[in-house]
Amino acid sequence: MAEQLEFSTYLMSLATSALIQLGEAPDPETGEALPTDLPAARQTIDILGLLEQKTAGNLTEPEERLLRNLVRDLRVRYVNAHKRAQPED
């Protein structure tokens, strides 16, 4: 019988995907850095934000805190990655 997926594990999986897309974590299979993919990172972060909105009031306090912190942290990391990607004047 397959192990039941916890909501927090799902959130961490999405967050890890966003970190890989931001170029801040290596590919888990190869251990190598992948090229930054800001559009994909933004989409993944937006999915986490949507989950935060749609699950409001339905999560345990630890799940809610985890999701809130992940979204906040990833948004900051996205802004920083976006700034780094901009050509300097």
Express each pLDDT in 20-75 by its tens digit.
999 999 888 888 888 899 999 999 999 999 999 999 999 999 999 999 999 999 99
Per-residue model confidence (pLDDT) at position 86: 86
- Spatial contact of 62 and 76, defined as CB atoms under 8 Å apart: no
pLDDT at 89 over 90: no
Does residue 3 lie in a domain region? no
pLDDT range class, residue 1, cuts 50, 70, 90: low
Does residue 56 lie in a domain region? yes
Q: How many domains does the chain have?
A: 1
- Spatial contact of 37 and 44, defined as CB atoms under 8 Å apart: no
Q: State the amino acid at position 62 in one-letter form.
A: P
Nearest in space to 68 (alpha carbons), one of 13, 5, 15, 31: 15
- SS3 string of 4-16? CCCHHHHHHHHHH
Tokens of 41: 């990172």
Full domain range(s) for residue 69: 42-82
